[in-house]
Structure 1
Amino acid sequence: MSSTSSAPPWNVRCLPGAAGRVFLVTGGNAGIGYFVAEQLSATGATVVLGSRNPAKAEVATASILARVAGARVRAVRLDLADLSSLETVVEALKVDRLDAVVHNAGVALDDPPRWETGDGHELMFGTNHLGHFALTQWLMPLLSAAPAARVVTMGSFAAKSERLDLDDLQSRKAYQPKRTYGRSKLAQMYFGIELDRRLRAAGSTVASIVVHPGGALDSLTPSRPPVHVRNPAARLSSAPAALLVQGKHAGAWPAVRAVLDPSAGGGQLWGPRVFGLRGRPRREPIWSHLADTSVAARLWDASRALTGTDPRAIPGQA
């Protein structure tokens, strides 16, 4: 019997220990990212919150320290919309290796107009995808220094119904916020799967895993004041939705499992068990459009040209 088949069922409330390991969670100061960081902190690992807002990161850090006895958690400034700033993150981490990064941070706009980053990229595509694409290159030396590091990319169930327009990645021709957001998350998911292909081809020990949170609502999320305050009226009104979706604490489960579970492997997709929308995390088949390697390769080349980086490469080495 293999070690995988003999392992006990995964328990989201009783996670394996990870003392001595170091995890970075981008956007770990709020939303799903906060709960990823809180849950990983309970394993004994050192958890670093990547946040563009130091004040919010301080509040989130204090919340985790108050809830998790002995938590080893701190924050670094991380602005994915500013590509030129990302190289400095490696030094700010002050570690000699990184066991996992959870690419979680993101921007979601509900209404026009279209906004751009300082680098001239559409804000959601530039932050959610290009920022993480570039960050991965700078983190690769630290990831490669760990015995079996993981890059965990947080996609979205909204990406399942989207398709990339490779001739309009920046949504200049037809900008619709919800569609642009879905496509930015789809680009992230293509990146995560293509990254693993390239890491395997290079003989790297780093694995890349893609996850999505299913349907995760604020109104079904437990309070973590002042990071998140649950409105009782909103929770009551959204109670019927709990049959189909869940809170952001549960939306964090697939990412946490992808970081910790030895049975999770590179190139895989993990999400909630029930219709991909709610429930405990499980591996699921790669969506058919995500399996298109030609789209992934073209996106990779475009992303490399837009950022001037190549996440598979180790800076300073040929």
Structure 2
Amino acid sequence: MGKTVLVTGGNAGIGYFAAEQLAAAGATVVLGSRSDAKAAAALTSIRSRVPGARLSHVRLDLADLASLKTSVDALGVDSLDAVLCNAGVLVDGPERALTPDGHELMFATNHLGHFVLVCLLLPLLDASPAGRVVTTGSFVARSVKLDPADPQSANDYQSKRAYARSKLAQMLFGFELDRRLRAAGSTTISVVNHPGGALDSLTPSRPPVHVRGAGQRLRGLPAGLLLHGKDSGARPAVRAVLDPAVTGGQLIGPRVFGLRGKPRVEPVRGGAADPDLAAEIWAASVELTGMEPV
């Protein structure tokens, strides 16, 4: 393919398998990761399965907004064909964790960090003949509402709900970004994807990145009727990056009830389909970060 793609969180989970699949398709893949050691393990694993893979790593901490310009500068490229905004964190616990900037950790990492990163990358994406911003959301975003006056859940924090809100914010950003890119006449498009129901127990081993024991595999078999592994969960993102038929503003997800199967274009429903809410979350993100992509 000859494309150069930055994959955030490319050292583990769905991001790892997206990076592996993109490399197998001929793309040059840059893994964005906070950990040099985890990135090195992922690069070694991909190279063992994709001979001649073109890979590199850039240190990327999405929770540290001030560090992101340094990360973008470290790419050392004049253009970028795509960024896959995949990295995310789920904090499991009753306490509301904050970044050093005072932002709620999941909202900051999953949404605000990608918001700032895309702002910094847009000149490189626009320098490509057909740049793409691909944002990985989640079907759990359908289960929540997002208050633009309190997007960081300061008033009613509950960890899994805050996570789902952060994923809804990401998806709203992806759709609003495409509307603004079209209005600006940009050649870059923005596409949203989600992995469906992706479980570790259904995911093939990639030691030391991911190791699935025989017992775990057997326990996961019944779930395979409705769900799939993270290798399959990465396919909507890969299609969103590579498929020339994909257009801006589309949502790509698994074919079977949005939970498993081959990727397809699916309708945008619920809160993610609300352009007024998207504009309000965009404005809140600009206020929180002091930056505006378009």
1:8 paired residue number: none
2:30 paired residue number: 48
Q: Structure 1, unaligned stretches of length 5 or more?
A: 1-17, 313-318
Matched, 1:175 2:175: no
1:226 paired residue number: 208
Matched, 1:106 2:58: no
1:289 paired residue number: 271
1:129 paired residue number: 111
2:246 paired residue number: 264
Shift of 1:157: 0.9
- Quick check: 269-278 or 36-45, which moved more? 36-45
Distance in 2, matches of 1:231 and 1:185, equals 30
Query: Structure 1 residue runs of 4+, over 4 Å off?
Result: none
> Given residue 222 of structure 1, which amino acid in structure 2 is its aligned partner?
P
| 1:148 aligned residue (130, 144, 154) | 130
Q: TM-score, normalised by structure 2?
A: 0.99
Shift of 1:90: 2.0
> Given residue 209 of structure 1, which amino acid in structure 2 is its aligned partner?
V
Shift of 1:119: 1.0
> Given residue 135 of structure 1, which amino acid in structure 2 is its aligned partner?
L
Matched, 1:91 2:62: no
1:275 paired residue number: 257
Matched, 1:199 2:181: yes
Q: TM-score, normalised by structure 1?
A: 0.91
Shift of 1:83: 0.4
Matched, 1:81 2:76: no
Shift of 1:167: 2.0
Shift of 1:289: 2.2
Aligned residues: 294
Paired residue secondary structure (2:134): strand
User: How many percent of aligned residue pairs carry the same amino acid?
Assistant: 66
Q: Structure 2, unaligned stretches of length 5 or more?
A: none
CA deviation digits over 1:11-46, x for unaligned, max 9? xxxxxxx12x20000000000000000000012221
CA deviation digits over 1:207-262, x for unaligned, max 9? 00000000000010000000000121112112110000000000000000001101
The CA RMSD measured in Å over matched residues stands at 0.7
CA deviation digits over 1:100-124, x for unaligned, max 9? 0000000011222110011110000
1:310 paired residue number: 292
Shift of 1:271: 0.1
2:20 paired residue number: 38
CA deviation digits over 1:112-163, x for unaligned, max 9? 2110011110000011000000000110110000000100000001111111
Q: Is the 8 A contact 2:168 2:271 kept in 1?
A: no
Q: Is the 8 A contact 2:142 2:270 kept in 1?
A: no
